[in-house]
Amino acid sequence: MFHHVADGLPRIVSSHDQTAKALSLTIVPIITIACLMLLIAERIILTRRVRSIACRIHVNGTRGKSSVTRYIGAVLSASQRRTYAKITGIVPTLISPDGSSQAIRRRGTPRVQEQFSVISRAAAGCADAVVLECMSLKPEYQRLEARIFLPHVTVITNIEDDHREEMGVSHEDHVAAISEGIPFHAVVFTADAGHFPLLQHYAEARGTTVHCVPPLAQELASQLPEGMFAANVALALAVGAHWGISEQFSFDAIRALGAESDCVETTINGFRTRFLNGFAVNDVPSAERYIDRWCDTAAPRKKIIILNTRSDRPLRTVEFVKWCASVNDLHHLFITGTHAAFASRALKKSQLAPAAYSRVTSQELPARIADMLCAETDIVGFGNIAGEGFEIVSYFKNRDAA
């Protein structure tokens, strides 16, 4: 068979070519339909697994999500509910009904499918309750998590200025982004009184009720171990009360967990010092509160700050560089991470003397700190835990502390 082309010369088209073309036109739609059917079937199966779990709680917000997830999980477990709690936090971890913890191994970058795997595992384990820490930053993924998980209760710990690359730069942008995770016809608890009216506005459009949790009673707050934040405990108590668990019962379950302190005390070159792990503190206002909490303003100590940077968080780097250059009693600033070169260039434009900051690797840091340390000095890490932050924390935790 001949087929005439533009140059006028005939080209032979075999019947085999025609058959192959016809098959491709037939097979592609078939494969597409088959894939769609598989996706629909997977969604139906996952929805059934979700609905088999009687108590579903989603924990969102800027700060304190991991702690609140852990506390709520402990409260529900103590109430004889078979509970799985998944912490996204610094190290993604699944807490099983027997209280054991297992780190979740990731291949590549974090993906929302990780949440679906946890749901499936919990359903297979005949879970009565699942507490999921929201792992999504982009609004559309937060919305996807909520629509798949169908939480009965969503907790919004607080809304701070963070993750500007995904959530925008204004407070309104941040509230709008986190509000994408508000489910339909559910209940929301928040400790963020400042953003309560806006959250209420978004929730009402979904037929959801928002409760602003008051501060923890002073009588209970005074009993908390160091490292436990009263606002996080108050949220967990409110969620427990929603499920019919008494305040004192919930409080005892939370307090029994103890607190993982950010503070490691150690001696370096004969000088007694503290390492304060604030790498999970990712915005400047929270960093200021963190220093106020740990550092006695009546007897100020010098500060060695370690700023661990990430190239995919450039706006965070800019904000922290400006702030670090103005910190009172700054003894030295060490810059690590994948955005350290940018941070160093930015510091050259600040009023901070060149001798007051250095760009180092996590391997070089211990020796540099030992040379720099003096009496009455704290070492504080900020910015990001990812990458070199893990190595720095590990170094201080593995030192002998008296």
pLDDT in tens, 357-379: 999 999 999 999 999 898 889 99
Q: Give the pLDDT band of residue 82 (cuts 50, 70, 90).
A: very high
In terms of pLDDT, which residue wins out, 101 or 299? 101
Confidence of residue 295 (pLDDT cuts 50, 70, 90): confident
pLDDT at residue 25, rounded to an integer: 64
Question: Mean pLDDT lowest for which of 119-123, 128-132, 188-192, 280-284?
Answer: 280-284
pLDDT in tens, 211-255: 999 999 999 999 988 778 899 999 999 999 999 999 999 999 999
Task: Outline where 228-308 has alpha helix (H).
Answer: 230-242, 247-257, 284-294
Helices marked H in 154-257 — which ranges?
164-167, 171-179, 196-204, 218-221, 230-242, 247-257
Please tell me the predicted confidence (pLDDT) of residue 293. 79
Higher pLDDT, 20 or 71: 71
pLDDT higher than threshold 80 for residue 397: yes
Position 401 scores a pLDDT of 47
Q: What is the mean pLDDT of residues 195-216?
A: 94
The secondary structure of 333-348 as a DSSP string is EEEEETTHHHHHHHHH
Q: What is the pLDDT of residue 90?
A: 66
Q: Are 320 and 305 in contact (CB under 8 A)?
A: no
**Quick check: 193 pLDDT over 90?**
yes
Question: How far are the Cα atoms of 104, 165, 182, 322, 384 from residue 311, in angstroms, in the given order?
Answer: 25, 11, 30, 17, 11
Per-residue 3-state assignment (H helix, E strand, C coil) for 64-92: CHHHHHHHHHHHHHHCCCCEEEEECCCCC
pLDDT of residue 136: 82
Establish how many alpha carbons lie within 13 A of residue 293's alpha carbon, considering only the half-sphere containing its beta carbon.
19
Q: What is the pLDDT of residues 318-354, one digit of tens each?
A: 999 999 998 888 999 999 999 999 999 999 888 888 8
Mean pLDDT of the chain: 85
pLDDT above 90 as % of the chain: 46
On the question of pLDDT at 289 being above 70, the answer is: yes
What is the predicted pLDDT for the residue at 174? Answer: 83
Residue 214 sits at φ, ψ, to 5 deg, of -70, 165
Who has greater pLDDT, 355 or 226? Answer: 355
More confident residue, 169 or 238: 238
Cβ(99)–Cβ(77) under 8 Å? yes
Quick one: pLDDT at residue 226? Answer: 74
Percent of the chain with pLDDT over 70: 86
- Can you give the pLDDT at residue 399? 74
pTM of the model: 0.71
For range 140-161, the mean pLDDT: 90
